[in-house]
Structure 1
């Protein structure tokens, strides 16, 4: 993208005012919910609902057409049927509007007529230099600007992870998983049919976005795979890109073609090329979020040597199993660490000291747990450490001890409390504010570990 394009994208995500064209008084309609989302999200700019006959919606004065709005509109949200959408986009272009979100479906994914209408959208965008998101999209969000320009009126935790999704449903699934995991969001982009703005465009925009530290992408398929791969590779030199790519079967290709009008393409080909460019691949929504969480909170490890500490062996074993084949080494404990552990627990131990460090019942007390974690973090054989525990009604969680040990070491520390989302909510907030990602399953912990190590190696190879 050119510098001028980037400036236009910045205005698209930071509008001084927003027009909702197709706003209605019915909460069942998309136009109403766009308006509700802007209000619920706390947007501070001017909002201009547009409807030919209504006078007021949700306490906001309504304008009969976009021509009647007294200001030049920065962002137009178009919630009309596909034919009216094209007409309104033309009108927006003539009035000097430079940013629009087209929510309607029914374009190239439905056949010849839809393709013709979509071609007309491209012509309008080129003629008037109009940046158009979609069509067939959930919308966009910029939490830094309190902008929720989607038709889901939700309030979300702010942070440094930005998301791009071809699917509204999976995009919303990722958003919800992020909220469950305490992962703060910066921007969300529903790419939809990508008629004017491609996923590569959004990646290039987010590469220079100061509020975005990590980019997560849900990808069905693209026509210009080479441009996407090159863009993702360039962005990866600046910040991590994690992609959840579907397309393991021909059935998926057929489904994506009628969903957003794109072919999923060869999964293996995408996987191999992305790996060459340092882009991380996830196999599910949960893995995407786990990877983004670790990358958004942790500094990168100096290498791939992992230490594990637990007082219950099973979770550490499952985590190791999840890391099999991911080229992460599990080194032996240094003699100094063995001496430190024996100084804490005693010489005559009923356990064998090795990595993973499993102390059994000797390590359940939070004070002892903290000392053992500190000893493990100081082991010169480890580049990062993962810890595991099972919260108990009568045992205090070692949250403060983990933070203290982490502050002294500075090495990446990931923790797993085997629990429910609600069960670890308070501890998660405290730990993650301190820079320690907290997971509730060993599988998710393994995904976080793998993301840190693989991105660190990728940056090293590309630099």
Structure 2
């Protein structure tokens, strides 16, 4: 399976069965994406109706290519997809993406077709992604093997999704957050490759540091838990499980042919496995971003500094609801902060540390943030700063602290003007230096809570 998945996600050559010159056809969109986004390997359009497709020589069949192709993209209907799988086995191709719908999610006839597809995969060792899948993206090799116009990017986050539509939302939210999704995989009906298989593959993929999952359900729960147990000690897994209402089983079954199962059972089993569970698409993205950009903390204790009340209150409320730890500062830190702030009566000298308006001055704020980061009682820092043209944030100081101390720093900018390119550039520089920036209080809280949960699961209290 491992070699097959390497051929799938890092292919040297790709054949598109059903490649077309008709821009209304799936085979056109998939072939165009391969070319437009710069897949560096060989591309073989397969369609007996054409001599060329999008400027590439076309072939009447897989066998006529004259050599095995690493990955076959099947852009034909459900019944023909089964035939393509058989041809893959004869042509010694190792992996195939089956985009077609109308398999088990539509009833008995589709179930029979999917059984035939499974039989070929089991008999020949062919690895099949799907059917009923949007495909996948590996931005680390400039490969878009989907029918979506997603631009590809290099990145250390892998996302698996059981819905193309929800997965698209995750991808675009990640782009908005500058979060690097390198691998994006639509699992579809999981006829051959299920979550467990893909988790094991991503666990050994050196380009992947964080795994995010949108899941509706699986029939192979034991395989899923077993795979998670093997991978989570090395890489964090963040999961958003949908289909929580009892009546959602009907919708899930009609979508990807999967039973969602009891939400309570899922949450308990996944928590025991060390999965970081989230409750929305936005939380999934922000949770992954925190870990992907800042890395894993050495502990779960959070320290927060702010010169403004409102946004920090929301962050604090959420952290308290999640039972996160915001310990008191050490005596040395308390003395240092009081000295920096000249013992001003307006400052609240406890965690969270509210500097009030005195903290708008970047020099004061940066020195206090450094003192907080040096505290032996603090593992994760949340730095809240209101954006104003007369009070620029202490970016250079944050970067200096990050390099000097090494603890994760989560920056939450209050009231930033998003279209302002100056702040987009500032944000990019901070994130390139391992400091994730968020523009809403919930997002900063999600990232901090994720880091704390990850540390807690890796270093449980005795």
Q: TM-score, normalised by structure 2?
A: 0.95
**Partner residue of 1:247?**
243
Alignment partners' CA distance in 2, 1:347 and 1:282: 41
Choose the corresponding residue for 2:104, options 94, 102, 108.
108
**Partner residue of 1:442?**
441
1:86–1:120 Cα contact (<8 Å) kept: yes
Alignment partners' CA distance in 1, 2:238 and 2:356: 36
In the TM superposition, what whole-angstrom CA distance separates every residue of 1:169-205 from its partner, at most 9, and x where no partner exists?
1111111111111111221211100001111000011
In the TM superposition, what whole-angstrom CA distance separates every residue of 1:241-282 from its partner, at most 9, and x where no partner exists?
111101221232111100000011111111111111111111
- Answering whether residue 419 of structure 2 is matched by residue 426 of structure 1, we say no
**Partner residue of 1:199?**
195
Choose the corresponding residue for 1:402, options 384, 390, 398.
398
Choose the corresponding residue for 2:305, options 303, 309, 317.
309
Q: Residues 142 and 344 (structure 1 numbering): CA distance in 2 closer, same or farther, change over 3 Å? A: same
**Partner residue of 1:386?**
382
Q: Residues 462 and 59 (structure 1 numbering): CA distance in 2 closer, same or farther, change over 3 Å? A: farther
Pairwise CA RMSD = 1.7
**Partner residue of 1:53?**
49
Q: Residues 59 and 420 (structure 1 numbering): CA distance in 2 closer, same or farther, change over 3 Å? A: farther
Structure 1, gaps ≥5 residues long: none
In the TM superposition, what whole-angstrom CA distance separates every residue of 1:85-126 from its partner, at most 9, and x where no partner exists?
111221121121111000000000000000000000011112
- 1:340 Cα offset (Å): 2.0
- 1:349 Cα offset (Å): 2.9
1:306–1:328 Cα contact (<8 Å) kept: yes
- 1:146 Cα offset (Å): 1.8
* 1:24-43 to 2 correspondences below 5 Å: 24-43=20-39
1:41–1:153 Cα contact (<8 Å) kept: no
**Partner residue of 2:455?**
456
Alignment partners' CA distance in 2, 1:72 and 1:230: 33
Alignment partners' CA distance in 1, 2:387 and 2:443: 17
**Partner residue of 2:89?**
93
Alignment partners' CA distance in 2, 1:74 and 1:384: 44
**Partner residue of 2:325?**
329
1:388–1:416 Cα contact (<8 Å) kept: yes
- Answering whether residue 280 of structure 2 is matched by residue 281 of structure 1, we say no
Q: Residues 299 and 154 (structure 1 numbering): CA distance in 2 closer, same or farther, change over 3 Å? A: closer
**Partner residue of 2:164?**
168
- 1:420 Cα offset (Å): 5.8
Q: Residues 225 and 89 (structure 1 numbering): CA distance in 2 closer, same or farther, change over 3 Å? A: same
2:133–2:187 Cα contact (<8 Å) kept: yes
In the TM superposition, what whole-angstrom CA distance separates every residue of 1:37-93 from its partner, at most 9, and x where no partner exists?
111221111111122212222222222222322332111100111111111221121
- 1:151 Cα offset (Å): 1.1
Q: Residues 336 and 142 (structure 1 numbering): CA distance in 2 closer, same or farther, change over 3 Å? A: same
**Partner residue of 2:252?**
256
